[in-house]
Amino acid sequence: MRAKLVASYAYRNFRYSSNHPLRIPRVSLLLDFLKAMELVKDTEVDEGRNATQEELLEYHTEDYINALREADACGCVKPKYRELYNIGTYENPLSPATWRGSLLACGSSLKAAELFLEGHISFNPAGGMHHAYPSRANGFCFINDPAVTIQMLKKLGFKKILYIDLDAHHCDAVQDFYYHDDSVFVFSIHQSPEYAFPFTKGFLHERGASKGKGFNLNAPLPKGVTDTEFLKVLETGIEVIKEVFKPDVYLLQLGTDGLEEDYLSKWRLSNWGFLKAFKMVREAFGDGIYLGGGGYHPIALTRAWSLVWCEISGREVPTTLRREAREVLLSVGWEELDETDRSYMYETLLDKPREGHIRREILSICEA
Ligand code: V1S
Ligand code: ZN
């Protein structure tokens, strides 16, 4: 039983406040769906664990962590913390997800890494919160589980760690932390900061600095990216990495917000393209540590992460959905969902590729 899904129903109680894009069920929906499809056995699910204070402090500052814990205990955010740490804002609201959810999500990424080191292939869908800075919440992220996990791997003696980020938003905080570090290669494909969050980072010219020069790679892409373009850029990025870096281990952030159905990005990826991207990374670097990320259309996200799970666990992708699984999806009751437009989502798991020609601006990014 090599594949492990690090996932818990505890996330049902750890949702962001109303109106926020992360108020939707994600991990629990994925679990319910996989069970209804008979695609996961109980023995393949690991509940995860909370991160410890010591582990968090390898990346975050003590004052910031204490402020998160205090806000959770009191159910309130002091105005000075809102200002200083960016918590309790519209973007990063206070909810049970803020501290308890983040603590579990981060510990689960650490658990995924531990399971990987024991010989499993593990996926923590609650992970991938790549925007959290050492002492500042940012872009829905409070605790930066990718960085905390990379820090753990470094402490364990790993000398060459690769971080690949497929989320539609640039991994600004991860990039910053390892910008001067030649032992962590950070590669991100994302919507250009010229038009998308985080707006300030993720440009092509950001290639790392001092010792880390050449160990950071960004592919900022225009609106409307299709599978063809995304996969071409990924293929080129993999070639560039392979020329200069032989990773001992890699982490892959699998944000699904680049899918066409997702309303937080302007891309047009199909879940076929998403799966293909996942397979390309595995083909290039072998098994890795797999983390979730953004993804705001609950059904699109569930379908895409189910494909990843099928791939990891060596299962064939089913061609039709079981009635029970369709009911799980229909029960989401998500007001943004246009049920007539999206009816195909209730019938099949794997979409058709969304192909197109590769635009000149994308070719020039590949040549740069
Ligand atoms: N894109 C986007 C977006 N949407 C929102 C948002 C929408 C409704 C809300 F109730 C609250 C927030 N915020 C943003 C982005 C942040 C995106 C974070 C993505 C996270 C991830 O997928 O990469 C990984 C988990 N923020 C902004 O665009 C900043 C603003 C500039 C616009 C929104 N307002 C609320 C703050 C300033
Ligand atoms: Zn995102």
The alpha carbon of 171 and the centre of ligand 1 are apart by a number of angstroms equal to 14
Contacts of 221 (CB under 8 A, 6+ apart): 189, 190, 191, 192, 229, 230, 233, 267, 362, 365
Structure confidence at residue 339 (pLDDT): 60
The length of the chain in residues reads 368
The alpha carbon of 167 and the centre of ligand 2 are apart by a number of angstroms equal to 5
What number of other Cβ atoms are within 10 A of residue 199's Cβ? 12
Mean pLDDT over residues 163-183, rounded? 99
Is residue 132 a contact partner of residue 144, using CB atoms and an 8 Å limit? yes
78-87 residue pLDDT tens: 999 999 999 9
Structure confidence at residue 334 (pLDDT): 79
Mean pLDDT over residues 235-244, rounded? 97
CATH superfamily of the 3-367 domain = Histone deacetylase domain (3.40.800.20)
Return d(Cα 221, Cα 103) in angstroms, integer: 32
Instruction: Dig out the tokens for 56 from the structure.
Output: 């968090």
Structure confidence at residue 333 (pLDDT): 76
The alpha carbon of 352 and the centre of ligand 1 are apart by a number of angstroms equal to 29
90 lines ligand 1 (CB under 6 A): yes
List the strands of the sheet with 249-253, edge to edge: 45-46, 3-6, 121-124, 289-291, 249-253, 161-165, 184-191, 216-221
Is residue 296 a contact partner of residue 263, using CB atoms and an 8 Å limit? yes
19 lines ligand 1 (CB under 6 A): yes
264 lines ligand 1 (CB under 6 A): yes
Protein residue whose Cα sits closest to atom 9 of ligand 1: 20
Sorted by where each begins, the domain ranges of the chain are 3-367
HSE at residue 208, side-chain half, CA atoms within 13 A, is 20
Protein residue whose Cα sits closest to atom 23 of ligand 1: 169
Is it the case that residue 355 has pLDDT exceeding 80?
yes
Place of tokens 């319910």: 32
255 lines ligand 1 (CB under 6 A): yes
21 lines ligand 1 (CB under 6 A): yes
Protein residue whose Cα sits closest to atom 17 of ligand 1: 139
Return d(Cα 271, Cα 256) in angstroms, integer: 9
Nearest Cα neighbor of 156 from 184, 189, 114 is 114
**R_g over Cα of the chain:** 19
Q: Provide the percentage of residues in the chain whose pLDDT is more than 90.
A: 93
Q: Which residues partner with 72 through β-bridges?
A: none
Q: What residues flank ion ligand 2 with Cβ within 5 A?
A: 167-169, 255, 257, 294
181 lines ligand 1 (CB under 6 A): no
Substitution site in 256, 264, 265, 335 for ligand 1 pocket (most atoms within 8 Å of beta carbon): 264
The alpha carbon of 267 and the centre of ligand 1 are apart by a number of angstroms equal to 16
293 lines ligand 1 (CB under 6 A): yes
The alpha carbon of 84 and the centre of ligand 1 are apart by a number of angstroms equal to 19
Is it the case that residue 25 has pLDDT exceeding 90?
yes
In this structure, of 214-228, 309-323, 343-357, the range with the lowest mean pLDDT score is: 343-357
Q: What is the ipTM of this complex?
A: 0.97
Is it the case that residue 338 has pLDDT exceeding 80?
no
91 lines ligand 1 (CB under 6 A): yes
Protein residue whose Cα sits closest to atom 25 of ligand 1: 294
pLDDT band at 327; cut points 50, 70, 90: very high
167 lines ligand 1 (CB under 6 A): yes
Place of tokens 């063809």: 228
pLDDT band at 344; cut points 50, 70, 90: confident
